[in-house]
Structure 1
Amino acid sequence: MDDLEGQDGSGGTGREPGRTAGNYRLARSLGRGGFGEVFLGEAPDGSRAAVKLLHASWAGDPEMRRRFATEVEQARRVSGFCIAAILDADPGAEEPWIATEFIDGPTLQDAVAEDGPRSGVELHRLAVSTATALAAIHAAGVVHRDLKPDNIMLAPDGPRVIDFGIARAVETTSVTASGVVGTIGYMAPEQLEGMRLTSAVDIFSWGSVMVYAATGREAFPGPTQASRIARILGAEPDLGALTEPLAGIVRACLDKDPGRRPDATTLLNQLISVPAAGGRAAAAAPGARSSGAGPNGSAPDARTRAGADPVPSAFDASARVNPTRVATRTPVDPTRVAPQVPVDPTRAYTRMAPGGAASADPSAGLAPPRTAPPVSGPASAAPGTPPPHTAPASPPPYSSPSVPGPVSGGRTTSPPHHAGVPPYHFHGIRFTDPRDLAAAMQQNWSAAVQVFNDPAERAALGAWLVNDLGDTTLDRSLFRGHANSDANLAVASFVSQLRPDLPPIFRGRGATVAELGEVFSDPRPLFTGAPLANEMLLMARPSLLRIMGAHHGDDSGELLRLAEHLDEAEQAANAFHKQLTGELEGWRTAHVSVSTALILTFLLHPERMVPPDDGGDTGVREWAAILWNRVRSAPLPVNAGYAAVAYGAVPTMRALAEQRRHWEKRHGEVSTRHDSLRRRVLLQERLVLALRICRFAILGIPAGIVTELSAGSGMEGVVSLLLVVGVLGFVGAVLAEITVRIAFGGPARRNLRYGELNGVSSQLPPLTAGVDRIQGDLRRAREICGP
């Protein structure tokens, strides 16, 4: 995942620039990820390449080597247009490597961040080029799986898709325990769910990339990882300023159902058949939603499902939702309400006896796509008796409760309802008691999310509950939510309000304290990106824990306390992060990801709260020890938040350690060079000065001769002295000249040395200031975090 792969620096290659991989000399590092490090490679002919080496920790894994070799072979099959072509590779080397075309240009991520979003012809050109690259990739039987703005290079001759390091062949794309690979914000729903993947995940990622290119933000933005995941799984994309016809194409690519997304070839054909900007009605664009007519040209109403415009809440007078809309004799929409019958407006709503629950016959389509603990609903309990609350250590296979009731058309239905109460259809079953409906929704979570994610369906459900049944207990905000709300939380709240007697379950997973302890027993999925990580992020929210605590279980109070502790720890973590970035100069641009799932792991398992692994990096070890002092000195639950900051800051600490090594190394090199030049220049100056003195002394010879001629024999002593000085000066000048030229070169070389000294001297102040800043940050960090 986005937010996790780049954090893995352990097991790095350790290869110093200047070494080789095949025929390529590794000039400098271009970046490091979870699987390998990329270097700028130079071939003997002077050409350049991006050389990726597998991390040493992965290189020792035979299975990873096999996958790497397979990926290289698959990548070779991809046509070289619109991608970074494969130049050479050696999967069998001691350190497996692959060399790809070096693209000299910024990434789309950097270009949008620096120059702003794209629009018009420029955006359309980007869309066509990247779709062409996907068509080539998929034609070779490869799924990229991590298409994102950072993996699109804007070369002088057009955009190129890069980084096939995590690509997989289509025929082997089932997700296993090795984990989900990708970047949150650009991952498809099925990728987050850990389902079998197809090339449709790249189409979803492409749509998300286009939204970023056109708006400068993600299609499913959110303040936390959990909120972003929740929006991808159950909310409509925010297309922002993206205009038709491209908006309609992108919307179709961001469909939750991979089967309804276009393939890469269809996508490319759609893009090249529409104008770059305007010129065609939005409704004509593939995937565009009409704002004025329904599927048959009629005005849309609350019954419209996929593709409907958001409708107002059932409690908004302008919504005009018919509270008892009827279903025709054609096949029943699973979430339609039954035919309208006269309703006594003065009838007071009372809950029906538990014995009227609908059957959960698997043949009726109630089996959910995930496992959940058995739910003892009201159908199996004595009338008026709530079922016992159970908290299994791990969720057993799902089993639907058997509910007695009349059978119609081979399907078990609810028993006869009170006169005048229309039934509500959910997942092919008719319900007259909302409590039974809530139990069914808990058991069929995915179908329930679809209801709450569709504004029309949500409004229709609210109309049935409030207008038809006269409910006065449910929170009305559940039915006023818009497309960007969290449908999973809405389902959880709906169930907890109507059936607090049921065990707490979220998305098919038990949510008692014991069951949460099992889910959060191992934090490794949060770092490897395994499918469980997404579930952990969705469950680790104070709001959800409060909803789960509303169930009348033995540990409901403990769940509520856990929610308060998580809230407190998260606030402490955010404050700690704000203090670090505000008071430490080197941290001001740091992107520290504080994981609430990791906080909850530490709250449930304090024994897991140990310092992060430094990977053998002494610089990281020093920073980690400083931050961990803050953890040691704080009590629960605050220390759990501080610990999460320390773990989230590992990439920052690694970058700071690398920066410190670079600055100190450079400062040491420049200082050494400066001292050496200064000593040499000083000696040079002394010898040149001696040469000048000797040259001046030579004048003693003519001065002595002139003195002797003018003064006669009376000045013999002076004449002798002048002649001796002149001779010595001559000899000294000859020797000094020879020495200076041999040791320091001619005048041009000596002047150049002066320039070198001045240049080195000018480098020292900023380098010294940088080193002082780093040392100052360390001192201030020690003050912030304690001794």
Structure 2
Amino acid sequence: MNETTERVDPGRTVGRYRLLRRLGRGGFGEVFLGEDEDGARAAVKLLHANWAADADMRRRFAAEVEQARRVSGFCVAAILDADPDADEPWIATEFIDGPTLQQAVTEDGPRTGADLQRLAVSTATALAAIHAAGVVHRDLKPDNIMLAPDGPRVIDFGIARAVESTSVTASGIVGTVGYMAPEQLEGMRIGAPVDVFSWAAVMVFAATGREAFPGPTQASRITRILSGEPDTGDLAGPLLETILACLSKNPKARPQARDLLGHLVAGSAPSGVAPTKTEGAPRPDPTLSYTRMERPDPVAGPEAAHMAPPPPSGGHRTPPPREERSTPRPPHGEGRAESGAWGASSGPRGGVPPYHFGGTRFVGIEELAAAFQGNWGEALRVFADPEEFAALGSWVMHDLGDTRVDRALFRREVRDVNLALATFIAEAAPELPPRFRGHDASIKGLAALFHDPTPLVSGAPRANELIMTARPQVLFQMSRHGGGDSAHLASLARDVERAERAGLDFQRELIENLDGWRDVPARVDPALALVFLLRPETVLAPDPGAGAGPETGAWIRALWSRVEATSGADRAGSAAAVYGVLGVIVSMTGQRRELLRELEARKGEQRHLVERDTWRSRHDTALLCLPLLAIASCGVGGGAAAGPSPGLGGFLLTVAALAGFAFMVLLVVRMAEDGRVRSAERRRSNVLPTVLRHTGQALRRMDQDLERARRICSRPHTGA
């Protein structure tokens, strides 16, 4: 795990652990490096204060801890200790000393060959162990896979839940866009298959260095997961087939983790699994009726006996009806246009077989649409199940004979379930108020929902929910509902589209012109643009946070000048673009500070080596002169003493010569021993100018990028 992270207040403790530094933060909490009295290290995760104040969240966190303790310790970061009842609930897991898979692939490139195969097997092993304990990870991604010296480990069970209690509510979707399964994005009840989908998306990233479902915006990435095909790069063979099976849109078609592991070890692809690609794939005939249809009594006609085929094995058994709702037919001649009004084809003549939903019998499409809108989660299951959806299509088209709902909706494969449901409701009952996933989608409701950019900037759990709602396609469907907001909603949808384009154009202009931005992906959050459109007063320059440094502020001021020079949708899009690259700015300015420190350190090292070499040269010269001076001194002294006693002078001269010779021998030996050190220092001294030159060039390029950014943002800008 990266140790160059933010330090915390000295002396802060959690349980038996003294916190050394912050390792990361997310929507649910913060992770710190902790150390106990014996020096053993742990990754200590604290729940955010806003979550800690939630009694239900505390209860679920305690359950998650107990579930996670049951996971076998191989291939995962083992739980060492936890206290769900503390003022700040926390959990301590094994500290993995190594980079994340995200860091490793970003810095060293994609994995290939046996390295990729080992990674796939190890992570699938961890997944099998997690699922065997009855836990769903729900946020498996490259940042949650640590590459330890003894092999990969899966980390972060802070948001894992027991399989039997897994659910998602309108309060938010847990996970990371890019590695979330379609049913997870749709807000449907989820289970272990979401982790299998995430595993496959992680393997695509490990093998290609790119997400499996890339896109320039969050909304486009979500749409591609829901309805598009993965980009698997150069992957081939059984591993590719296994990954494609795991990326199936249908969770029932994905292999279980233990079966996945078996296929990887055997080098075989899963059999009998529906492929991800769906073009030309057969789907149930929408004219057939299945489990949600109740046919007329036999007395209704001779054809009734064969109209309803038997339900498929394992099909849903409709509960006994509690209530029947019907739509009153207007008098003949009081029809409305087909855009949602009553017409000659708005319903069948004679009796209408009821459709069952949520324990209620419906014989009118408007009431059914209202029920769908009021129970979005259950309605999603109808649209996500091909058989259930075929039954709905048969009832609408053949039993009701309704032509207001576009029949193409039932004849195409449903890929974006939320959008399909919103389309059905808008076409079947446009008089209903606009609502999406339980949210009021009127202008007033959207203004209340998108009133604060903070959840989107911080990555809070509800951010994904907001992103799904802010998509222009969704807003266009909301505009189809009658009422005074219709035109305003359509205009807002167009403004969000324009804001996205403006933000992407701004980011691409930076990427194309700034040397250090070549690999930066262009991404603009439509939900953030929508906040800025609905709440112009929130269009404020981002705060990079404490410790960001003056360089970060300089970059933000430079880019924000583009925002100040624009208005309307362009202003909202440009502001969203700046927020979108805030992490890039903070990272690059942090690198610049490191380079400056490196430059100063190398300059100091160079001065030290030069001074040391000079001192040694003078010192060695002085040492060589000493024996000569000693011999000379003894010679003069011996000559002076030779007058009265010539033998004594000769003796002193001989002693001085021998001492000088011995001193010189010792000096030569010492210089020989020191030679290797001096040689290494000279080599280092010769290399340092190159290091200094490259470091200086990197700093100049960064400074030049900042100046180019200032010029780009100061140029007159006109929106498209």
Change over 3 Å in CA distance of 1:218–1:752 after alignment to 2:
closer
SS across alignment from 2:606:
helix
Tell whether the 8 Å contact from 1:573 to 1:642 is kept in structure 2 after alignment.
Answer: yes
* Residue 524 of structure 1: aligned partner: 454
User: In the aligned structure 2, how far is the partner of 1:644 from the partner of 1:219?
Assistant: 24
1:134 equivalent in alignment to 2:130: yes
Aligned partner (choices 486, 495, 505) of residue 556 of structure 1: 486
Instruction: Please tell me whether the aligned partners of residues 584 and 777 of structure 1 are also in contact (alpha carbons under 8 angstroms).
Output: yes
Aligned match of 1:565 = 495
Aligned match of 2:566 in 619, 631, 634?
Answer: 634
* Structure 2 gaps, min length 5: 304-319, 337-344, 637-661, 716-720
2:682 corresponds to which residue? 754
Mapping of residues 625-664 of structure 1, within 5 Å: 625-664=557-596
Q: 1:591 touches 1:652 (CA, 8 Å); kept in 2? A: no
The answer (yes or no) to whether the contact 1:127–1:271 under 8 Å persists in 2 is no
Q: Are the aligned partners of 1:220 and 1:228 in contact in 2 as well (CA < 8 Å)?
A: yes
Query: Is residue 705 of structure 2 the alignment partner of residue 774 of structure 1?
Result: no
| Residues matched between the structures, number | 652
1:208 and 1:254 in contact (8 A); partners too: no
CA-to-aligned-CA distance 1:604-643 (integer Å, 9 cap, x gap): 0111112222212343333322222221121112111111
The 1:621/1:62 distance shift into structure 2, 3 A limit, reads: farther
**Matched-pair contact (CA < 8 Å) for 1:148–1:205:** no
Contact map agreement 1:13 1:53 (CA 8 A) in 2: no
Offset at residue 81 of structure 1 (A): 1.9
Structure 1 CA distance for aligned equivalents of residues 246 and 412 of structure 2: 21
Q: CA offsets per residue over residues 24-48 of structure 1, 9 Å max, x none?
A: 9999987665633565989989xx8
Residues 696-715 of structure 1 aligned to structure 2 (within 5 Å)? none
- 1:723 is matched with none
Where in structure 2 are the equivalents of 1:227-266 lying within 5 Å?
227-229=220-222
Percent of pairs identical after alignment?
A: 38
Cα–Cα, structure 1 residues 333 and 498, in superposed 2: closer, same or farther, change >3 Å? closer
How far is the alpha carbon of 1:663 from its aligned partner? 1.0
The equivalent of 2:349 in structure 1 is: 418
Equivalent position SS for 2:94: strand
Q: Deviations over 1:307-333 (max 9, x none)?
A: 999437xxxxxx9x5x8x565xx9654
Q: CA deviation at 1:62?
A: 11
Give, as a single letter, the amino acid of the residue that structure 2 aligns with 1:760: L
The whole-number CA distance in structure 1 between the counterparts of 2:617 and 2:385 is 84
Match status 1:478 vs 2:472? no
Structure 1 residues 674 and 489: CA distance shift in structure 2, 3 A? same
**Structure 1 stretch 126-135 or stretch 244-253: which is displaced more?**
244-253
Pair 129,239 (structure 1): closer, same or farther in 2 beyond 3 Å: farther
What pairs up with 1:313-462 in 2 under 5 angstroms? Answer: 325=287, 332-333=292-293, 363-364=322-323, 384=334, 417-418=348-349, 425=355, 427=357, 429=361, 431=363, 438=369, 441-443=372-374, 445-446=376-377, 448-450=379-381, 452-453=383-384
How far off is 1:602 after superposition? 0.8
2:91 is the counterpart of 1:107: no
Which residue pairs with 1:302 in the alignment? none
SS of aligned partner of 2:153:
strand
- 1:68-117 Cα offsets, whole Å, 9 max, x none, are 99977775554322222346789989998846153557638856961258
Change (3 A) 1:518 1:579: same
The Cα shift of 1:425 comes to: 3.8
Q: 2:475–2:489: 8 Å Cα contact kept in structure 1?
A: yes
**For the structure 1 residues 60 and 612, does the alpha-carbon distance in structure 2 shift closer, same or farther, using more than 3 Å as the test?**
farther
1:453-483 deviation digits (Å, cap 9, x = unpaired): 4566667766776788887776565345335
| Contact 2:476-2:490 within 8 A present in 1 as well | yes
* 1:669-707, Cα deviation, whole Å (9 max, x unpaired): 112222333344345556667888999999999xx9xxx
1:783 partnered with 2:711: yes
* Cα 1:118–1:222 shift into 2, 3 Å: farther
Residue deviations 1:227-277 (CA, integer Å, cap 9, x gap)? 554676x669869779699859966997568xx999xxx853785599834
Q: What is the aligned partner in structure 2 of residue 725 from structure 1?
A: none
* Structure 2 match to 1:676: 608
Contact 1:144 1:166 in 2 (8 A): yes
Mapped to 2, the partners of 1:490 and 1:110 lie a distance apart of: 39
What does residue 282 of structure 2 align with?
A: 311
In structure 1, how many angstroms separate the alpha carbons of the residues matched to 2:54 and 2:391? Answer: 56
CA distance in 2, matches of 1:659, 1:631: 26
Distance change (3 Å), C-alpha of 1:340 and 1:130: farther
- Which residue in 2 is equivalent to 1:36? 30
Q: How does 1:266-277 map to 2 (within 5 A)?
A: 267-268=257-258, 272=262, 276-277=266-267
What is the match of residue 764 of structure 1?
Answer: 692
- Correspondent of 1:210 among 200, 203, 216: 200
**TM-score normalised over the length of structure 1:** 0.64
Kindly indicate whether residue 437 of structure 2 is the aligned counterpart of residue 507 of structure 1.
Answer: yes
Distance 2:42 2:239 in 1: 37
Q: 1:758 to 1:654 in 2, by over 3 A?
A: same
Correspondent of 2:140 among 144, 147, 168: 147
Supply the AA of the counterpart residue of 2:604: T
CA distance in 1, matches of 2:679, 2:475: 74
One-letter identity of the residue aligned with 1:652: V
Structure 2 CA distance for partners of 1:117 and 1:581, relative to 1, 3 Å: farther
Task: Provide the secondary structure at the position in 2 that maps to 1:36.
Answer: strand
RMSD, aligned CA: 6.2
Residues 139-167 of structure 1, C-alpha deviation per residue, up to 9 Å, x if partnerless?
Answer: xxx65442234323455655432233444
| Distance in 1, Cα, partners of 2:505 & 2:617 | 58
2:125 and 2:261 in contact (8 A); partners too: no
The residue that corresponds to 1:182 in the other structure is 175
Question: Structure 2: how far apart are the matches of 1:530 and 1:32?
Answer: 11
Distance change (3 Å), C-alpha of 1:205 and 1:642: same
Q: Quick check: 1:208–1:218 contact (8 Å CA) kept in 2?
A: no
Shift of 1:448: 5.0
In structure 2, C-alpha distance between the alignment counterparts of 1:159 and 1:770, rounded to whole Å: 34
The 1-side partners of 2:334 and 2:230 are apart by: 46
Between 175-184 and 563-572, report the one with greater CA deviation. 175-184
